[in-house]
Structure 1
Amino acid sequence: MTARVTLVEGDITAQQVDAVVNAASRRMRGGGGVDGAIHAAGGPEVLADCVRRFRDGLATGSAGWTTAGRMSARWVIHVVGPNWTRGERDRGLLTSCYSGALAVADELGARTVAFPLVSAGVYGWPRDDAIRAAVETLRATATDVEEARIVAFGRTAHDEVAAVLAG
């Protein structure tokens, strides 16, 4: 079966889900954007778990998990998206973030998972394609996850995702 793909506008760290997906950097030591927000909301437990589990970081396109610390979610599923602005333009690396996150969610027993638009921010992936990659992959990947929630940051992103979902 596949997950029901839903959409909300808001803060990914405030979602009432089993797991939130973090658009992490390869170093797995926190950063800006979604990564910084998740580390700030989750507190030092998230970073401590990253250091413990990912001593050498995480490869682009890969997924792994940590505690969610102080967030209401139980887990953070970290994915490392490709950095378009640095020449990482293999769409397969982007889609593997979504399918890999679903596979990790299945291993954990998570049934509700909140996703950001991976690589669509500071990593510069063209947003229209980042949205299509997210929706297509979440709709096509076999999983036990019941709800894959795309959390759009801002009204413009929400409306763009909504148009792809409706199409």
Structure 2
Amino acid sequence: MTGEHLQVVHGDITRMEVDAIVNAANNGLLGGGGVDGAIHGAGGPAIMNACRAIREAQGGCPTGEAVITTGGLLPAPYVIHAVGPVWKGGSQDEDALLASAYRNSVRLAGEQGLRTLAFPNISTGIYGFPRDRAVDIAIRAVRDALPKAPSLEQVTFVCFDDENYRLYRERLT
């Protein structure tokens, strides 16, 4: 379950009662499949409207970066949209880009003074990032970023599937 301020739960990130959930977003910020589609679906049109405004202002979100919007109808008041890399065999700086997506999410949460944050398993679905590798990167990146976000008291990794849950449990206990 824990490791400093880190914990893992098996469940649905759209139901998490935290200050912000992280969305595994795409560069266009216009929703998609997997967790991205679930968050947009559960959060209602306010999230899409906020994402459209960001697109108009800055043209989307680069891989490894993150932006924050309202949580709309979600229990969480904010959604941090983090863009992870598509796995291309490991030679396209995927590890660094994935770590950057996690670190930038923690940074944004800290800048907002948030206390609780929940992450999905970024890039491990349709983007094909190897799960065991992604878990190690996620935990290390969050731990590295936490000292610069002192308001954060709890970070939860929310695993929808059994394999990711098992991998996080092994590493956090």
Q: Note whether the superposition's TM-score is higher than 0.5.
A: yes
Q: Deviations over 1:90-147 (max 9, x none)?
A: 3111001111001100111111000011111110011000000111111222222111
Task: State the partner residue of 1:6.
Answer: 7
Task: State the partner residue of 1:78.
Answer: 81
Consecutive unaligned residues of structure 2, counting only runs of 5 or more, are none
Task: State the partner residue of 2:144.
Answer: 140
* Correspondence 1:53 to 2:60: no
- CA offset at residue 34 of structure 1? 0.7
Q: Distance in 1 between matches of 2:81 and 2:92?
A: 18
- CA offset at residue 89 of structure 1? 4.1
* Alpha-carbon contact 1:82-1:88 (below 8 Å) kept: no
* Correspondence 1:96 to 2:96: no
Task: State the partner residue of 1:163.
Answer: 170
Percent identity of equivalent pairs = 41
What SS is found at the alignment partner of 1:98? helix
* Alpha-carbon contact 2:121-2:164 (below 8 Å) kept: no
Q: Distance in 2 between matches of 1:133 and 1:156?
A: 16
Task: State the partner residue of 2:111.
Answer: 107
Q: Distance in 2 between matches of 1:51 and 1:101?
A: 19
1:37 alignment partner AA: A
Task: State the partner residue of 2:33.
Answer: 32
* Alpha-carbon contact 2:66-2:83 (below 8 Å) kept: yes
Consecutive unaligned residues of structure 1, counting only runs of 5 or more, are none
Q: Distance in 2 between matches of 1:120 and 1:114?
A: 16
What SS is found at the alignment partner of 2:110? helix
* Alpha-carbon contact 2:68-2:81 (below 8 Å) kept: yes
Deviating runs (4+, > 3 A) in structure 1?
85-89
How many residue pairs are counted as aligned between the two chains? Answer: 165
* Correspondence 1:131 to 2:132: no
TM-score by length of 2: 0.90
What SS is found at the alignment partner of 2:7? strand
TM-score by length of 1: 0.94
How much is the aligned-residue C-alpha RMSD, in angstroms?
1.6
